[in-house]
Amino acid sequence: MSGEGSSRAPYRIALDAMGGDHAPREIVRGALLAAAEYPVDILLVGREEVIRAELAAASAELPPSIEIVDAREVVEMDDTALAPLRRKRNSSVRVCANLVGEGRAAAFVSAGNTGATWTSAKAVMGMIEGVSRPALAAIVPRLHGHTLLLDVGANVDSKPNHLREFAVMGHFYAQMVFGIAEPRVGLLSNGEEEGKGNELTREVFQVLKDTGLNFIGNAEGRDVYNGNADVVVCDGFIGNVVLKASEALGEMIRRTLREELTRSLLRRIGAAISRSAFDDLKKRLDYSEYGGAPLLGVRGGCVVCHGRSSAKAIKNAIRVAADFVQNDIGTKIQQKIGELHSRETAGLLATR
Amino acid sequence: MSGEGSSRAPYRIALDAMGGDHAPREIVRGALLAAAEYPVDILLVGREEVIRAELAAASAELPPSIEIVDAREVVEMDDTALAPLRRKRNSSVRVCANLVGEGRAAAFVSAGNTGATWTSAKAVMGMIEGVSRPALAAIVPRLHGHTLLLDVGANVDSKPNHLREFAVMGHFYAQMVFGIAEPRVGLLSNGEEEGKGNELTREVFQVLKDTGLNFIGNAEGRDVYNGNADVVVCDGFIGNVVLKASEALGEMIRRTLREELTRSLLRRIGAAISRSAFDDLKKRLDYSEYGGAPLLGVRGGCVVCHGRSSAKAIKNAIRVAADFVQNDIGTKIQQKIGELHSRETAGLLATR
């Protein structure tokens, strides 16, 4: 994101101050970090007195680029996804979506209840023309670099055209976030050969061939982590399962390693000497550099952060949200989907 | 497996000497280890002169409990799954399946082409009465213990009754292999609440409630690794993707850790001092203790080993195959599936 030399007003990002395991503390601190580092305006949404108390606790004045927007209700993790549309219309996440819907903010960021965020964004902000379903895209680490996996939870029982939309949206997001001109797009399947897959993926395979994207064919589970693809496209059921299994496996390995490294005095000594290596390992596997998972396909930006987000993750999510707006990803998606639709219509007419 | 005091003949296990990345060397050595340790008879199947050369290289005599069965062809990793049924009917894996089909062996073990093993077992040995599809079950490590995940690749586009069969088969296999009376069976889904899931899993949820198994409801991706379930049931497409993603993630973490631990002299020294911890970590994450993945649902036993299997993994797979026979898992599966079918028929009649 380069705001320098730009003559237009900074992007305005709404931030859900009340969502997340460490809200409001880490959220407010993340806003302060972002305000100090990036040319953005932040609308900090939540209970004003709570936000002011956090600012006081952080010994911080409210900087001119942060404005508090009062919202009295809070969506909890055990609320249903529909809560912001029904019982809790004055909740912080719903107010964030309203701000984008009304054009008062260009994007919003939340580390709260993912379902509620998704529902609010879709219902209040609406969809990009031509896109049927929003997709949540996760950025997962590999040995060197990252892979974009989508959808990771917004949709189940996807149809071929949904997966085509995910591929297009993933393509443009990966272009921006990884800085690659032609990201390699793979279709998640149970084998790399063209004939492998289930009913859905075998049909999608043909559809993706005709998109003009850099479609590399089927990607196996291993290709999420081995660098063979930059974007891996799948139905939200499977993406969600893969992401949660991966998180749990990473945590399991971390705990097993810790158990082993603390099993004897000698091992503890060795671990203490090479301690910085473990810190760096943790950093490399940490998702927070990219701040969170974008919800793609809705009008305006929406970044869903991990519930455990730290101030640093929130800061990065704000940067990503602003980048998303600056790069006009929404327009690019709309144009490409429109182009595919017209080509299809032309094809249908030609075969008549 | 306890063979002591038993008056009946030892179980006879056919072993595909030619399948696997390290075949025939590790396979032949695995057979020698198993013959020395367990009361089993082994039919070592493959090119006789190659097997004899391996025995000579290992400076081993052929023990009385190992017999060589000559098979001239070899299914390669890039052969199709149908090769043993068509072009390569005298391949080692096909001959293994023949031996079980003819009753000359009770089970077979192969570390070769998984698709070819699956196809041979299903076509030649046939299915257990009442079971529609075989399922490949993987044993995955958790912090303390293991989880059985099935199906991991034999089937795509499963129907609810298939997942019910997987649950029943997983139940009995987990009873045996983990020694648990009532294994907790979870249904892999994208959320733990009953309403979560896709069309398939929402329907299967209701079906599994009525099985009399210890069904604990939906399991999320994380439950594969966190110990909340002993058996996790899913369609083979998703199981395959989760398993391959997990393997690749484990490998990625291992390589990242190695890079970090070798980045400076100090780190190398620390790592050298605590070296045994890394060896123990590797052992704990190693699948080879359980030898391989059973193919459940076929008549007779079939254990599919990882292509990279060592002699130790092969030895353990032979033990698991013998345990499978001794515990009469096939009969237990047949009885339970039969019982569920009759109950269903009775229910249908009652509602008329």
Residue % of chain B over a pLDDT of 90: 82
Is residue A124 domain-shared with residue A158, that is, in the same domain? no
CB A297 within 8 A of CB A169: yes
Residue B352: pLDDT band (50, 70, 90) is low
Our count of domains for chain B comes to 2
Is residue A197 domain-shared with residue A309, that is, in the same domain? no
Supply the pLDDT for residue B351: 60
Is residue A19 domain-shared with residue A119, that is, in the same domain? yes
CB A304 within 8 A of CB A110: yes
A24, A176, A190 from A315: Cα distances, Å: 14, 18, 37
**What is the distance in angstroms between the Cα of B230 and the nearest Cα belonging to chain A?**
15
Interface residue A349 vs chain B (CB under 8 A) = no
Q: What is the pLDDT of residues B10-31, one digit of tens each?
A: 799 999 999 999 999 999 999 9
Ramachandran angles phi, psi of A226, nearest 5°: -100, 0
Chain B residues closer than 8 Å to A285 by CB = 253, 256
A148 occurs within a structural domain:
yes
Give the residue among A265, A267, A247 at the shortest CA–CA distance from A257.
A267
Supply the pLDDT for residue A292: 87
Of B157, B199, B242, the CB nearest to A241: B242
Of B225, B241, B281, the CB nearest to A190: B241
**3-class state of residue B225 by DSSP:** coil
pLDDT, mean of each 10-residue run, chain A (352 residues)? 52 96 95 96 97 93 94 90 90 97 96 93 96 94 93 90 96 94 97 89 94 96 96 96 94 94 95 94 80 92 92 94 93 94 78 57
Ramachandran angles phi, psi of B222, nearest 5°: -65, -25
Supply the pLDDT for residue A345: 80
Residue B79 has pLDDT above 50, yes or no: yes
Residue B3: pLDDT band (50, 70, 90) is very low
Supply the pLDDT for residue B153: 82
Give contacts of A 138-157 with B, CB under 8 A. 141-143, 153, 156-157
Which of the listed residues B234, B255, B288 is the one where a domain comes to its end?
Answer: B288
Interface residue B240 vs chain A (CB under 8 A) = yes
Pairing of strands B146-150, A215-219: unpaired
Cα(B117)–Cα(B124) distance, rounded to whole angstroms?
A: 10
Is residue A221 domain-shared with residue A271, that is, in the same domain? yes
Please spell the DSSP secondary structure of B81-149, one letter per residue.
Answer: TTGGGTTTTTBHHHHHHHHHHTTS-SEEEE-S-HHHHHHHIIIII-BPTT--S-EEEEEEE-SSSEEEE
Is residue B159 domain-shared with residue B268, that is, in the same domain? yes
**3-class state of residue A315 by DSSP:** helix
Chain A residues closer than 8 Å to B263 by CB = 277, 280
Is residue A114 domain-shared with residue A227, that is, in the same domain? no
CB contact under 8 A, B245 and A260: no
Q: The domain spanning residue B9 has which CATH number?
A: 3.40.718.10
A40, A147, A321, B166 from A173: Cα distances, Å: 20, 11, 11, 39
Chain A residues closer than 8 Å to B240 by CB = 190-191, 220-221
Helices B265-273 & B275-285 angle (0-180, nearest 10)? 70
A348 occurs within a structural domain:
no
Residue B204: pLDDT band (50, 70, 90) is very high
**What is the distance in angstroms between the Cα of A115 and the nearest Cα belonging to chain B?**
11
Is residue A282 domain-shared with residue A149, that is, in the same domain? yes
CB A325 within 8 A of CB A301: yes
Q: Where are the alpha helices (DSSP H) in chain A?
A: 25-37, 48-57, 92-101, 114-120, 160-178, 199-209, 236-261, 265-273, 275-285, 311-326, 329-350
**What is the distance in angstroms between the Cα of B37 and the nearest Cα belonging to chain A?**
30
**What is the distance in angstroms between the Cα of B285 and the nearest Cα belonging to chain A?**
8
Mutate which: B260, B269, B278, vs A, most A CBs within 10 A: B260
Residue B4 has pLDDT above 70, yes or no: no
**What is the distance in angstroms between the Cα of A92 and the nearest Cα belonging to chain B?**
24
Is residue A9 domain-shared with residue A121, that is, in the same domain? yes
Which of the listed residues A289, A317, A336 is the one where a domain comes to its end?
Answer: A289
Is residue B197 domain-shared with residue B109, that is, in the same domain? no
Q: Is A241 exposed, middle or buried (0-12, 13-18, 19+ CB in 10 A)?
A: buried
Residue of B nearest to A195 (CA): B80
A333 occurs within a structural domain:
no
CB A302 within 8 A of CB A292: no
Residue B347 has pLDDT above 80, yes or no: no
Please spell the DSSP secondary structure of A106-130, one letter per residue.
Answer: SEEEE-S-HHHHHHHIIIII-BPTT
Supply the pLDDT for residue B9: 65
Is residue A305 domain-shared with residue A285, that is, in the same domain? no
Is residue A20 domain-shared with residue A141, that is, in the same domain? no
Of A198, A244, A269, the CB nearest to B222: A244
Buried b (16+ CB within 10 A) or exposed e, A307-342: eebbbbbbbbbbbbbbbbbbbebbebbbebbeebee
Of B141, B156, B269, the CB nearest to A273: B269
Interface residue A265 vs chain B (CB under 8 A) = no
Q: What is the pLDDT of residues B161-183, one digit of tens each?
A: 999 999 999 999 999 999 999 99
Q: What is the span of the domain harbouring residue A93?
A: 1-131+297-328
Is residue B268 domain-shared with residue B148, that is, in the same domain? yes
Residue B292 has pLDDT above 90, yes or no: no
Interface residue B197 vs chain A (CB under 8 A) = yes
Supply the pLDDT for residue B290: 76
Residue B202 has pLDDT above 90, yes or no: yes
Supply the pLDDT for residue A8: 55
ipTM: 0.90
A264 occurs within a structural domain:
yes
Interface residue B86 vs chain A (CB under 8 A) = no
Ramachandran angles phi, psi of A233, nearest 5°: -105, 135
**What is the distance in angstroms between the Cα of B228 and the nearest Cα belonging to chain A?**
12
Residue % of chain B over a pLDDT of 70: 95
DSSP secondary structure letter of residue B73: B
Of A240, A241, A253, the CB nearest to B285: A253
DSSP secondary structure letter of residue A72: -
Residue type, A219: A
Of B190, B237, B266, the CB nearest to A153: B190
